[in-house]
């Protein structure tokens, strides 16, 4: 039996590693020059493959952006989960999660800009990503934490959405309005939490 020419199919692990490599290079280009500089041809050159190889792993530039969003949100959630293991009691768990969320975005301003301020993305692309169950889980974890603090609360969604939008707002201000003498982000997050769970 004759062997067919060509590269053998990649394993799932090899595919995941290659996607990760592409994502890493895309993030480096984004950090240096913005997402507008990311192109399939440039990524192929950076990674050392043909552009069609990139297309075999990603549908296009927006698919790479969604991959990066997913990776960043997973990293942020992992930070929160690590801190929650050390927190005791419902109020401390909520405070720990909220402070970690805000700190993550302030400590990683490039990640904040990529997730919350990306250019070259359509509303439909963002909507599809945001409404994905896995994406929602990164934010709705706060709903469960609020329910732990206020088990009889009927307005959990309003409180959760207020907390999430407030935390993103604190990080947005810290990352984009650098000349204003903002109060300490930890104090602002604590004030936000106090108003939500009062």
Same domain? For 113 and 151 the reply is yes
Report how many domains make up the chain: 2
pLDDT of residue 6: 58
Across the chain, which has 198 residues, the per-10-residue mean pLDDT values are: 58 86 88 83 90 88 87 95 95 97 96 84 78 87 95 88 96 96 97 92
Q: Assess if residue 26 is contained within a domain.
A: yes
pLDDT of residue 94: 97
CA gap 62, 122 in Å, rounded: 9
Residue 166's domain spans which residues?
Answer: 66-197
Same domain? For 50 and 76 the reply is no
Same domain? For 105 and 31 the reply is no
Alpha-carbon 83 to chain mean position:
17
Q: Assess if residue 178 is contained within a domain.
A: yes
pLDDT of residue 191: 97
Same domain? For 149 and 117 the reply is yes
CB 78 within 8 A of CB 111: no
pLDDT of residue 123: 79
CATH number at residue 51: 1.10.10
Quick one: which of 67, 99, 66 has its CA closest to 84?
99
CA gap 150, 197 in Å, rounded: 7
Q: Assess if residue 5 is contained within a domain.
A: no
Give the H or E element holding residue 103.
Answer: helix 90-107
Which pTM was predicted? 0.85
CA gap 125, 110 in Å, rounded: 20
Q: At what angle do helices 156-176 and 109-116 cross, to 10 degrees?
A: 120
Same domain? For 141 and 51 the reply is no
pLDDT of residue 169: 97
CATH number at residue 79: 1.10.357.10
Same domain? For 72 and 36 the reply is no
Same domain? For 131 and 92 the reply is yes
Same domain? For 135 and 53 the reply is no
């Amino acid at each position: 039996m004759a062997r067919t020419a060509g590269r053998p199919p990649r394993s799932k692990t090899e595919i995941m590693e290659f996607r990760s490599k592409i994502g890493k290079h895309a993030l480096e280009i984004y950090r240096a020059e913005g997402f507008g500089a990311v192109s399939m041809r440039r990524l192929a050159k950076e990674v050392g493959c043909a552009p069609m190889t990139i297309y075999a792993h990603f549908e296009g530039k927006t698919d790479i952006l969604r991959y990066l969003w997913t990776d960043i949100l997973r990293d942020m959630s992992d930070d929160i989960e690590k801190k929650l293991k050390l927190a005791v009691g419902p109020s401390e768990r909520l405070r720990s999660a909220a402070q970690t969320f805000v700190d993550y975005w302030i400590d990683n301003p490039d990640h904040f800009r990529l997730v919350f301020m990306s250019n070259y993305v359509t509303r439909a692309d963002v909507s599809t990503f945001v409404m994905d169950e896995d994406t929602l889980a990164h934010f709705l974890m706060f709903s469960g934490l609020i329910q732990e603090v206020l088990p009889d609360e009927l307005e959990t969604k309003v409180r959760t959405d207020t907390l999430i939008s407030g935390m993103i707002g604190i990080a947005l201000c810290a990352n984009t309005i650098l000349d204003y003498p903002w109060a300490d982000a930890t104090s602002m997050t604590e004030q936000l939490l106090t108003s939500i769970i009062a």
